Amino acid sequence: MARRSPRVRALSTGARLLDLLPPRAQVRLSGRPPIVVDGQTLDSGVQLTLALRERIGEPPPETLTVARGRAFTSEEAAIAQGRPTPVGSVRDLTVPGAEGPLKARLYTTPEPGGPHPLLVFLHGGGFVVGDVDTHDAPCRVLCAHAGVNVLSVEYRLAPEHPFPEYHDDVTVAWKWAAEHAAELGADPDRVAIGGDSAGGTLSIAVAHEAARGEVPQPALQVLIYPATDGTEHRTRSQDLFSDGFFLTSALIDWYSGHHWPSGADPADPRRSPLLVDDLSGNAPAIVVTAGFDPLRDEGEAYAERLREAGVPVVLRRHPSLFHGFLNAGGVNRASRFAVLELAGMIRALLAVGEHLDAAGGREQPGSVEHV
């Protein structure tokens, strides 16, 4: 990653020091009582961070231009990343996209033996912001602790490349990675796909294409607080957490206004996979949600739809966390533990991947395992 500025380094150090405070001290410094919504208590460190953001008075992300929004996202990621997690090696490369090469980053696990599984990772950011740098920290953690090689793909972003261009990029990149896993030093029989938020939605689209036989089948799909319903239907979590917890309804609308063309059908399965009639044949899935996230309910509803279709699913809600915790592990203990837990689940499921029904569990009914 690029060298961080003195300001970013100072803010990152300060955030890490505040993370070391006892929970009671963090709540006291936030200036308000513990935040409890829907029977869930917000993590004390997250509560303090929200209070500090409010006191600093940074402009809401949805008021920024696209260029400034990307810079803001990059700076926040750099502050929150903490110290880089060591891995075996890191190499920048290019992979094929729909209209030309895409930037990518390959992380190899330091564990001996092999070949190890490969996780093709798709970053979040509402299809408008984010890149391999903003998600460098979680990719390192997953690589080091899940025992997998990670290929992080930087697909084209809207508004320069609106729907379906980013979907087309990901489809081509996935097909190439699955077919060239051995050249990337990985096990061709254990190639997974996953991502957070928009990256989770893109991973779902690839898994659907694989279920129809259009691209190679993933061994596993890792869906971290994915968006699964782009229609006007509102869930309870959207009403409860529409404002004040990082991802807001206004910011969701800002993303949609940039990446979704006027007149396009919001029920398109690539945008609203929750509405797909038949989900049978999908790869086994890990679905991770956050308690204080407007997308919580639609992610969990999608896990239930997969289960109903006979697909093995592990569903994990982190009730005290927020949309975006994947990137906060460097400055928040609860977020760090959540990412480490996810790494353990990926390790376990890919280790027994040959025993999972890659056709979606048609002979054995699927189940949602809540952990």
pTM for this structure? 0.93
354 pLDDT band (50/70/90 cuts)?
A: very low
Active-site pick, 203, 258, 323, 335 = 323
For residue 255, pLDDT over 70 is answered with yes
Query: Residue 89: beta bridge partners?
Result: 108
Nearest to 145 by CA among 345, 298, 311: 345
pLDDT digits (tens, 9 = 90+) for 112-152: 998 999 999 999 999 999 999 999 999 999 999 999 999 99
Buried b (16+ CB within 10 A) or exposed e, 108-127: bbebeeeebbbbbbbbbbbb
Q: How much is the average pLDDT of 4-23?
A: 89
Query: Do 129 and 73 meet the contact criterion of CB atoms below 8 Å apart?
Result: yes
223: which 2 tokens?
């869906």
Active-site pick, 43, 131, 196, 293 = 293
Q: Which residue has the higher pLDDT, 360 or 111?
A: 111
Annotated catalytic residue 249: no
Q: What is the pLDDT of residue 141?
A: 98
DSSP strand pairing (149-154 vs 101-108):
antiparallel
Query: Do 256 and 262 meet the contact criterion of CB atoms below 8 Å apart?
Result: no
- How far is 359 from 310, CA to CA, in rounded Å? 9
Side chain identity, residue 350: L
Active-site pick, 12, 197, 203, 335 = 197
Annotated catalytic residue 197: yes
DSSP strand pairing (101-108 vs 89-96):
antiparallel
Annotated catalytic residue 272: no
pLDDT digits (tens, 9 = 90+) for 297-316: 999 999 999 999 999 999 99
For residue 7, pLDDT over 90 is answered with no
**Distances, alpha carbon 49 to alpha carbons 11, 76, 181, 246, in Å:** 12, 12, 40, 10
Q: How much is the average pLDDT of 57-61?
A: 85
Q: What is the pLDDT of residue 10?
A: 87
Query: Residue 194: beta bridge partners?
Result: 121, 222
Q: What is the pLDDT of residue 369?
A: 62
